[in-house]
Amino acid sequence: MEDLPEALVTEILKKITRTSDLNSLSLVSKQLYKIEGNQRGAICVGSGLCSTTEALKSLCARFPNLRKMEIDYSGWIPGHGNQLDNKGLFVFSLHCSSLIDLTLSFCSYINDYGLFALSFCKTLVSLRLISTPKITSIGLFSVAVGCTSLCALHLIDCEKINSVEWLEHLGRDGLLEELVVKNCEGIDHHDLLKFGSGWMKLQKFEFERKRGICDLIPFDDVFDSSYDAHSMDTYDICCESLKDLRLVRIKTWPEIGLRVVLGKCKALENLSLEYVHALNDNDIIALSRSCSNLKSISLGLNLQRYSSDVQYCETRTSFTDNSLHALALNCRMLQIVDLKFTGCSRGWPSEIGFTQEGFLALIQSCPIRVLVLNNANFFDKEGMKALSSSPHLETLELVFCPGVTDDGMHFIAHTPCLSNLTLRVCHNVTDIGVAELRRARKLRVFGH
């Protein structure tokens, strides 16, 4: 090996992807040790990391071209030794000159002073903070000011981050392309509108509120089913570059908040709305008119109270067939559909706003490749018969769908391109139905 040119050895090492294999190879010779260290671009360290200054400097010298680092202390207990602290983060910021991607997970020894050290990382492009309990908005603001190349920011379970000066600063620079905020109680979805002109370049956005006991029961509020938040120019924001949007457990009533984004993202390809309160058909209609490139939609729907008449109120899921017809008409590139209904009665008719007719209108108008139905009690043998003629369907997952029976399995087995079928808690499918599926040899069936 030592007689081979260094360039050739480097190419050989690039073919090896397992970290354990690379570690073993580096022990064979000084040449391999040096070459492997120079080419290593990513490492993940945690409880086994020696946090002394000299040890950290040696680590940086060992991997001089390190571009991606993950520091993960999940499952850590005091008996595992000391965690990386602020001083250690200063060492990395000063000696890892090529670092562009950093993840800090469950780092309880790092506070705002440590984040200030990151402001010296002018090459930092992506930062993920996961369960970092001591970090506040002050430290995040220093990152926003100092890390002038930052394009992606993830904040997950960061309880002390509240004020949004950091968000306003990032919005003024307009460099951020990816923003994810999950379970940060100090940040409300109305605060995200202060991102201002930063929305113009943003390509991926996720906002998720922490799960609470109130998520398990319908809200007492009565929402106007005819209210159209998109007929007013309440917020002057532009998010025409947004391709991925996910909103989870937020309230959009009585103020509009992030609801207005649905009618403004013309480049949107992937949409996920999970238990967003007060949305109605007008939101999906506005979305469908703007997003002709939509390829994937995931809806998690629970029971809410709606009325356009003060004397009548109905409890149902957010959207009706009007939404499905709008998607069928305007979103002809839709390939992935995931529908989950929570809290609805098992029998049909029920509180689900969709019917089988509206659902099939969507399926027959779009080239659906992947379909997931969870607790969709409107879907029965006739729906499975119609689905069996879908020319593009490759993956089908049915969860707790009481209308799925052995008779329907006969139709599903003849779906032209179907290769993956998953059945979960579909009690009306017996061995007879499974026998029908076995005849379709190209079909892989999973179930429990």
Under the banding of pLDDT at 50, 70 and 90, the label for residue 139 is very high
Is the pLDDT reported for residue 72 higher than 90? Answer: yes
What letter would DSSP give residue 104?
E
| Average pLDDT estimate for 233-252 | 88
Under the banding of pLDDT at 50, 70 and 90, the label for residue 436 is confident
Each residue's pLDDT tens digit, 314-342: 899 999 999 999 999 999 999 999 999 99
Which residue ranges make up each domain of the chain?
A: 1-39, 41-210
Question: Which pLDDT score, from 0 to 100, does residue 215 have?
Answer: 57
In the chain, the amino acid numbered 193 is L
* Residues contacting 362, CB < 8 A, separation 6+: 324, 325, 327, 328, 334, 337, 368
Is the pLDDT reported for residue 178 higher than 90? Answer: yes
Which tokens is 84 given? 């990386």
Closest alpha carbon to 337 in 324, 321, 346: 324
Do residues 294 and 319 lie in contact, with contact meaning Cβ atoms separated by under 8 Å? Answer: no
| Average pLDDT estimate for 402-417 | 90
For the chain, percent of residues with pLDDT exceeding 70 = 91
In the chain, the amino acid numbered 74 is S
Is the pLDDT reported for residue 27 higher than 70? Answer: no
Under the banding of pLDDT at 50, 70 and 90, the label for residue 87 is very high
Under the banding of pLDDT at 50, 70 and 90, the label for residue 287 is very high
| Average pLDDT estimate for 196-203 | 93
Q: 293 burial class (0-12, 13-18, 19+ CB within 10 angstroms)?
A: middle
Do residues 89 and 121 lie in contact, with contact meaning Cβ atoms separated by under 8 Å? Answer: no
CATH class of the domain defined by 41-210: alpha beta
Closest alpha carbon to 105 in 129, 81, 85, 88: 129
Lowest-pLDDT choice from 22-31, 172-181, 419-428:
22-31
Question: Which pLDDT score, from 0 to 100, does residue 16 have?
Answer: 72
Residues 445, 438: Cα–Cα separation, whole Å: 9
Q: What fold does the segment set 1-39 form as a domain?
A: Monooxygenase (1.20.1280)
